[in-house]
Structure 1
């Protein structure tokens, strides 16, 4: 009888365990789970050409779903960062090169210097160590990464952005960040040479490309010939719709034809507009991003000996007249002590920007020349290409503004709402949106409406993220892990730009005779002054809203 009672208790205990969903075979038996790096292929990480050392105690990087995951503490410590674990909030706090970066566990964002930046990857614990995709580390610290199979080379250039520490003279050529001078010949494609020259510089020294000016200056979509010219906004529309850049070897300059089958090499996702007369801002941008594109008036283009503004002997230029802008260059450096006596017409003070021209190496000093800080136009229409990504960053782009930003719209105040609706091609994840901030110090909030059927559905729009931009420009905002969409959806932006009464960027019909290719049939856009009462942009404004959406398949 006693034995039967013991068996009965045993069976009763097993029954309770089974009822609770606990199997005896799953209980811990003095064993630990194998490390993730023991189960998946190992990876190698280099920082500024030095291999980062790992061990089983620190955790080791490994490949998972084509991504390299790395132990955060060891990786950042090897880069010279201070890493602090805050257990109460489950957050890793990193001090690196004057920046504070907070990475919360299992959240699809990180915080850099107080600004929330969404990301499609999250940090997570593996065997009591915080792991994160290397791509997120690179973005968090503002580095560059080059992947080769199971390894990644991270390159970081110390970011010295304080005004007091900006050097008195600087030349990107000394850092292998300028591609060779080209010749635009008799064309009006200086703007394309300047735009792509600045992009090439932004990618160097990590990646070295020769992009096709012919493809941009002939394939931009505007009613302008290559001889008639263009500007940085035309370049931006071409790049942001992912029409380019393509390689020069696939569409060489001077043949007057566009290769429609040329392969796009990069996706531009962000560009900032620097303020007029922002001498220090231009220097800071060159240090951070490489060459910047700028407009100016260039006198006597083909007859330099007759110019009263250009000194051939010193390759220096200073213009103080009233003629309009007619040329674009790449600013690649500066010299605060460049003597005013070098100029044919004397400015009031020393100092000049070093510029890369597109007249071939016979011009100036091997194709380069100095432009006085006091030149009337240098430093106007300045654009820096600040985020250039691989072509596999997203699988789909949804857009209706293929000619880009042409006119502003709004309700007479700095705040407004705008939206675009798109029909996905299948089951997709909405990962990011892009739009223009037309003035500095612009704030935004982004919403989404899934399964959109009409304006009444804006009542249930859900807030996804918010933030602000210091500079005017074109921006892509990531939406974290993403939002599943398999039916028509709407993306909505509430924008606040205190410096303008018309904060919405539109591709407007009739904005200019050379932009007569605006198509109002390819979009479904809306604008609102309060987020409640909505009007169709195509009907009310005769314009498409500049608001793109990016998705991946799932």
Structure 2
């Protein structure tokens, strides 16, 4: 893929969207959520402008977080958009648009980038996962933990019955306590799971081409003719594979 040419095409698309919808770039007034802390590989990130919460998503200053994650950042003032490049990944976002392009593919954002006074804020989870990071939220501490270690897809183990579905137990280092005979339901003990296991599996699934829909206690993953439900049911973490 020619990343440079793709980036130019995406910038053109963003420009067209701005013209088509006559988008006015929002400058927000808000009450900052205090005491939200962000850690990358156990090191706290210091921001000049405080992170805040919007629609249950943590928003952080754009340039600082991209650079902390090791991405090179380019700002396009005409389209109010940013391109961030890390390794083979290019992410492009624009203020006010709830679409992020990852290597040319559009991904819907829960919150679009926002301009607050002179600082552009972006949704932390979305951009971190786009760059191959694992994200965990500690509610009792108002803390976000980001693990920037790259994911090696070549090492992913898949379920024997469904060879395109990553094996949850293999991903987090735990064996199932029970398996339905036809290999569509796998039950794991909650007490044996490491912190952030569900988020780690989410990253593995999305990196293997699954789209994700987040619910209260579980995720719904879809790809081609498969749907996978993954989440907690009491003391059990359950994987349910549903062929369409």
Query: Under TM normalisation by the shorter chain, which class is it?
Result: 0.5 to 0.7
Task: Say which of 176, 179, 185 aligns to 1:212.
Answer: 176
Structure 1 residue matching 2:170: 3-state secondary structure? helix
User: Is 1:47 matched up with 2:40?
Assistant: yes
Going from structure 1 to structure 2, the CA distance change for 1:34 and 1:124 (only over 3 Å counts) comes to closer
User: Is 1:200 matched up with 2:169?
Assistant: yes
Deviations along 1:101-138, whole A, 9 cap, x unmatched?
Answer: 10122222111111112232211111121112212112
Q: Aligned partners of 1:152, 1:54: CA distance in 2, in Å?
A: 14
User: Once the 2 structures are TM-superposed, how far is the Cα of residue 154 of structure 1 from its aligned partner?
Assistant: 0.8
Q: Is the 1:45–1:152 Cα contact (8 Å) retained in structure 2?
A: yes
Q: Aligned partners of 1:93, 1:110: CA distance in 2, in Å?
A: 10
By percentage of residues, which structure has more helix? 2
Q: Is the 2:33–2:53 Cα contact (8 Å) retained in structure 1?
A: yes
Task: Say which of 175, 188, 195 aligns to 1:247.
Answer: 188
* Other-structure match for 1:139: 129
Q: Is the 2:133–2:150 Cα contact (8 Å) retained in structure 1?
A: no
Structure 2 regions of 5+ residues with no counterpart?
1-26, 192-196, 230-241
Q: Is the 1:109–1:122 Cα contact (8 Å) retained in structure 2?
A: yes
Q: Matches of residues 245-394 of structure 1 in structure 2 within 5 Å?
A: 245-248=186-189, 289=204, 393-394=214-215
Task: Say which of 62, 66, 73 aligns to 1:76.
Answer: 66
Q: Is the 2:135–2:144 Cα contact (8 Å) retained in structure 1?
A: yes
> Runs in 1 of length 4+ with deviation above 6 angstroms?
194-197, 267-270
Structure 1 regions of 5+ residues with no counterpart?
1-32, 167-171, 179-189, 218-225, 239-244, 251-264, 271-287, 291-383, 398-431, 438-472, 477-505, 508-545, 547-554
Going from structure 1 to structure 2, the CA distance change for 1:266 and 1:50 (only over 3 Å counts) comes to closer
User: Once the 2 structures are TM-superposed, how far is the Cα of residue 49 of structure 1 from its aligned partner?
Assistant: 1.9
* Other-structure match for 1:468: none
Deviations along 1:204-262, whole A, 9 cap, x unmatched?
Answer: 4xxx6x45341x32xxxxxxxx4xxx4xxx43xx4xxxxxx543368xxxxxxxxxxxx
Q: Is the 1:196–1:213 Cα contact (8 Å) retained in structure 2?
A: no
Q: Is the 1:211–1:247 Cα contact (8 Å) retained in structure 2?
A: yes
Q: Aligned partners of 1:124, 1:78: CA distance in 2, in Å?
A: 19
User: Is 1:154 matched up with 2:146?
Assistant: yes
Structure 2 residue matching 1:53: 3-state secondary structure? coil
Q: Aligned partners of 1:34, 1:105: CA distance in 2, in Å?
A: 12
Going from structure 1 to structure 2, the CA distance change for 1:45 and 1:248 (only over 3 Å counts) comes to same
* Other-structure match for 1:96: 86
Deviations along 1:17-42, whole A, 9 cap, x unmatched?
Answer: xxxxxxxxxxxxxxxx9985x63223
Deviations along 1:421-478, whole A, 9 cap, x unmatched?
Answer: xxxxxxxxxxx994525xxxxxxxxxxxxxxxxxxxxxxxxxxxxxxxxxxx7699xx
Output the TM-score relative to the length of structure 2.
0.61
Give the aligned length: 195
Going from structure 1 to structure 2, the CA distance change for 1:159 and 1:126 (only over 3 Å counts) comes to same
User: Once the 2 structures are TM-superposed, how far is the Cα of residue 147 of structure 1 from its aligned partner?
Assistant: 1.0
Task: Say which of 90, 113, 116 aligns to 1:123.
Answer: 113
Output the TM-score relative to the length of structure 1.
0.29
Q: Is the 2:73–2:82 Cα contact (8 Å) retained in structure 1?
A: yes
Bigger radius of gyration: 1
User: Once the 2 structures are TM-superposed, how far is the Cα of residue 45 of structure 1 from its aligned partner?
Assistant: 0.8
Going from structure 1 to structure 2, the CA distance change for 1:115 and 1:267 (only over 3 Å counts) comes to same
